[in-house]
Amino acid sequence: MTKKNLNFDFSAKNVVVTGGARGIGLQIVRQFLESGAMVSIWEFSAESLEVAKAELSSFGAKVHFQQVDVSKFASVEAAASALPFAVDILVNNAGITRDKSLAKMTVEDFESVIDTNLNGVFYCTKALLPKFADSPNKRIISISSVVALYGNFGQTNYVAAKAGVIGMTKTWARELSRKGFTANAVAPGFTMTPMVEAMPADARKAVEDKIPAGRWGRPSDIANACLFLASDEASYISGTVISVDGALVV
């Protein structure tokens, strides 16, 4: 069942969403667009960008597409220079996984996840900082994970990166608050995406049984948290981590 989006008005706002062409990122983009925002999607996969262009065609010039490798600062700088607008809201969502136990994880497995999931958040925020609009309501929202709060087997690289995102978020909240910024993180729990939907039903049920709320999260649950943190109603919330996980971690 599709639920109605929260009734926020972002008609005067410009948003950048990294990793915005699929999964949770695409839902975040869609809900910002439906709330009136202008959105730039930064995405590594050219194929995913083309699919997103078709899915979001009804929004016309309100959506901008840019192929970006967030793990490379030069690519991020070029994308920042090509932006057609000043930024009000940045959502650092791009991420990858290379899950293996510590004994089997290679240095390349570790570095590739750190490069995208941690360095990428730093690169995008650093490059876009001077591109933000001159306003008292600037927003930096970074997608972390509940595993950053409690660890997870086989995810040394992912947990390290997502925990680092929380640390950077708290630091930016302190550094940038007097310049009109809030900086917050959203920590999703188990969320139903197309990749998860492809899992065997019994495997999905086994995960669901661990969630106190009794269901998987929806991409819209994560997007709703992002829209709230981006809104004027959240202007006094900064340096926090909102877990969207159905009470998985309490």
**Which residues form the catalytic set?**
158
CB atoms inside a 10 Å sphere around CB 77: 15
Long-range contacts of 57-61 (CB under 8 A, 24+ apart): 59/33
Percentages helix, strand, coil for the chain (3-state, rounded to 5) are: 45, 20, 35
Coil, helix or strand for 187? strand
Nearest to 138 by CA among 9, 16, 224, 7: 16
Task: Say how far apart CA 23 and CA 216 lie, in whole Å.
Answer: 14
Task: Say how far apart CA 245 and CA 250 lie, in whole Å.
Answer: 10
Nearest to 118 by CA among 160, 174, 78: 160
Using CA atoms of 100, 114, 138, 35 in order, give the dihedral in degrees to the nearest 10: -40
CB atoms inside a 10 Å sphere around CB 74: 10
CA 140 to chain centre: 10
